[in-house]
Amino acid sequence: MGEGARRSYRFPILAAIALAAVGFLVFRSTSATSVYYLTVSELLAQGEAAGDEQVRVAGKVVPGTIQRTAETLTFTASDGTGDVNVTYGGVVPDIFKDNVEVVLEGSYGTDKIFRADTLLAKCPSKFESDPNSMAGSTGP
Protein backbone atom coordinates (compact mmCIF):
# COMPACT_ATOMS: atom_id res chain seq x y z
CA MET A 1 0.00 0.00 0.00
CA GLY A 2 3.10 2.21 0.33
CA GLU A 3 3.10 3.15 -3.32
CA GLY A 4 -0.59 4.04 -3.19
CA ALA A 5 -0.13 6.19 -0.09
CA ARG A 6 2.77 8.08 -1.66
CA ARG A 7 0.72 8.70 -4.79
CA SER A 8 -2.16 10.06 -2.79
CA TYR A 9 -0.21 13.05 -1.49
CA ARG A 10 2.16 13.46 -4.41
CA PHE A 11 -0.76 14.45 -6.61
CA PRO A 12 -2.07 17.39 -4.53
CA ILE A 13 1.48 18.73 -4.07
CA LEU A 14 2.17 18.69 -7.80
CA ALA A 15 -1.24 20.18 -8.54
CA ALA A 16 -0.51 22.97 -6.05
CA ILE A 17 2.86 23.68 -7.71
CA ALA A 18 1.22 23.87 -11.15
CA LEU A 19 -1.51 26.20 -9.84
CA ALA A 20 1.05 28.40 -8.09
CA ALA A 21 3.04 28.68 -11.34
CA VAL A 22 -0.05 29.74 -13.28
CA GLY A 23 -1.01 32.20 -10.55
CA PHE A 24 2.48 33.70 -10.53
CA LEU A 25 2.41 34.20 -14.29
CA VAL A 26 -1.01 35.87 -14.23
CA PHE A 27 0.13 38.13 -11.36
CA ARG A 28 3.38 38.89 -13.13
CA SER A 29 1.66 39.93 -16.35
CA THR A 30 -1.07 42.08 -14.84
CA SER A 31 0.40 43.65 -11.70
CA ALA A 32 3.37 45.67 -12.93
CA THR A 33 1.43 47.85 -15.32
CA SER A 34 -1.96 47.43 -16.87
CA VAL A 35 -0.38 47.77 -20.31
CA TYR A 36 2.79 46.18 -21.58
CA TYR A 37 4.15 49.54 -22.77
CA LEU A 38 3.19 53.22 -22.99
CA THR A 39 3.22 55.26 -26.17
CA VAL A 40 5.60 58.24 -26.27
CA SER A 41 2.65 60.65 -25.88
CA GLU A 42 1.44 58.77 -22.79
CA LEU A 43 4.92 58.99 -21.31
CA LEU A 44 5.11 62.74 -21.97
CA ALA A 45 1.64 63.22 -20.46
CA GLN A 46 2.84 61.48 -17.30
CA GLY A 47 5.93 63.67 -17.45
CA GLU A 48 7.91 63.86 -14.25
CA ALA A 49 5.14 62.03 -12.42
CA ALA A 50 6.84 58.91 -13.72
CA GLY A 51 9.95 59.97 -11.75
CA ASP A 52 12.60 57.31 -11.38
CA GLU A 53 10.11 54.53 -11.91
CA GLN A 54 10.94 51.91 -14.48
CA VAL A 55 8.59 52.25 -17.42
CA ARG A 56 8.26 50.67 -20.83
CA VAL A 57 7.68 52.94 -23.78
CA ALA A 58 7.33 52.23 -27.50
CA GLY A 59 8.01 54.50 -30.46
CA LYS A 60 9.56 54.64 -33.90
CA VAL A 61 13.18 55.59 -34.37
CA VAL A 62 13.12 59.02 -36.07
CA PRO A 63 15.26 58.77 -39.24
CA GLY A 64 18.64 60.47 -39.00
CA THR A 65 18.65 60.82 -35.22
CA ILE A 66 20.79 57.79 -34.36
CA GLN A 67 24.17 58.90 -33.02
CA ARG A 68 26.76 56.49 -31.74
CA THR A 69 29.62 57.40 -29.43
CA ALA A 70 32.14 55.02 -27.90
CA GLU A 71 29.89 54.05 -25.01
CA THR A 72 26.36 55.16 -25.73
CA LEU A 73 23.79 55.45 -28.40
CA THR A 74 21.34 58.32 -28.63
CA PHE A 75 18.29 58.69 -30.83
CA THR A 76 14.81 60.16 -30.85
CA ALA A 77 11.75 57.95 -30.55
CA SER A 78 8.39 59.16 -31.78
CA ASP A 79 4.82 57.94 -31.92
CA GLY A 80 3.82 60.52 -34.50
CA THR A 81 2.59 63.13 -32.02
CA GLY A 82 5.26 63.12 -29.33
CA ASP A 83 9.05 62.79 -29.40
CA VAL A 84 11.47 61.70 -26.70
CA ASN A 85 15.27 61.66 -26.67
CA VAL A 86 16.75 58.34 -25.64
CA THR A 87 20.18 57.27 -24.43
CA TYR A 88 21.12 53.61 -24.31
CA GLY A 89 24.38 51.80 -23.59
CA GLY A 90 23.64 48.16 -24.37
CA VAL A 91 23.48 45.81 -27.29
CA VAL A 92 20.95 46.59 -30.00
CA PRO A 93 18.92 44.00 -31.92
CA ASP A 94 20.00 43.20 -35.49
CA ILE A 95 17.11 45.10 -37.03
CA PHE A 96 17.67 48.35 -35.10
CA LYS A 97 17.73 51.23 -37.59
CA ASP A 98 15.72 54.25 -38.79
CA ASN A 99 11.92 53.83 -38.68
CA VAL A 100 11.99 50.58 -36.73
CA GLU A 101 9.55 50.44 -33.83
CA VAL A 102 11.35 49.92 -30.53
CA VAL A 103 10.20 49.10 -27.02
CA LEU A 104 12.41 50.68 -24.33
CA GLU A 105 12.64 49.86 -20.66
CA GLY A 106 14.13 52.53 -18.42
CA SER A 107 13.35 55.77 -16.65
CA TYR A 108 12.35 59.22 -17.83
CA GLY A 109 14.41 61.84 -16.02
CA THR A 110 13.71 65.48 -15.18
CA ASP A 111 16.20 66.41 -17.92
CA LYS A 112 13.63 65.05 -20.41
CA ILE A 113 15.95 62.25 -21.44
CA PHE A 114 14.81 58.64 -21.40
CA ARG A 115 17.57 56.40 -20.08
CA ALA A 116 16.93 52.94 -21.47
CA ASP A 117 18.32 49.81 -19.81
CA THR A 118 16.79 47.54 -22.41
CA LEU A 119 16.06 48.11 -26.06
CA LEU A 120 13.79 45.69 -27.87
CA ALA A 121 12.58 45.90 -31.46
CA LYS A 122 8.93 45.23 -32.25
CA CYS A 123 8.12 42.74 -34.98
CA PRO A 124 7.08 44.42 -38.20
CA SER A 125 3.56 43.41 -39.21
CA LYS A 126 4.56 42.67 -42.77
CA PHE A 127 7.26 40.76 -44.59
CA GLU A 128 8.84 41.93 -47.82
CA SER A 129 11.20 40.19 -50.16
CA ASP A 130 14.67 41.66 -50.11
CA PRO A 131 15.21 43.38 -53.48
CA ASN A 132 18.98 43.07 -53.07
CA SER A 133 19.02 39.32 -52.92
CA MET A 134 18.05 36.37 -55.02
CA ALA A 135 15.56 34.08 -53.36
CA GLY A 136 17.32 31.81 -50.95
CA SER A 137 20.76 33.32 -51.33
CA THR A 138 22.98 32.98 -48.30
CA GLY A 139 23.92 35.89 -46.11
CA PRO A 140 22.56 37.49 -42.97
54 binding another protein? (CB under 8 A): no
8 binding another protein? (CB under 8 A): yes
The Cα–Cα gap between 13 and 140 comes to 48
When the beta carbons of 112 and 124 are compared against another protein, the nearer one is 124
Count CB neighbours of 44 within 10 A. Answer: 18
Between CA 18 and CA 13, with CA 30 as vertex, the angle to 5 degrees is 15
72 binding another protein? (CB under 8 A): no
Binding residue (CB under 8 A) for another protein from 2, 4, 69, 111: 4
Residue 98 dihedral angles phi and psi, to the nearest 5°: -50, 140
Binding piece for another protein, criterion CB under 8 A, among 27-35, 61-69, 74-82, 108-116: 27-35
15 binding another protein? (CB under 8 A): yes
16 binding another protein? (CB under 8 A): no
The Cα–Cα gap between 83 and 44 comes to 8
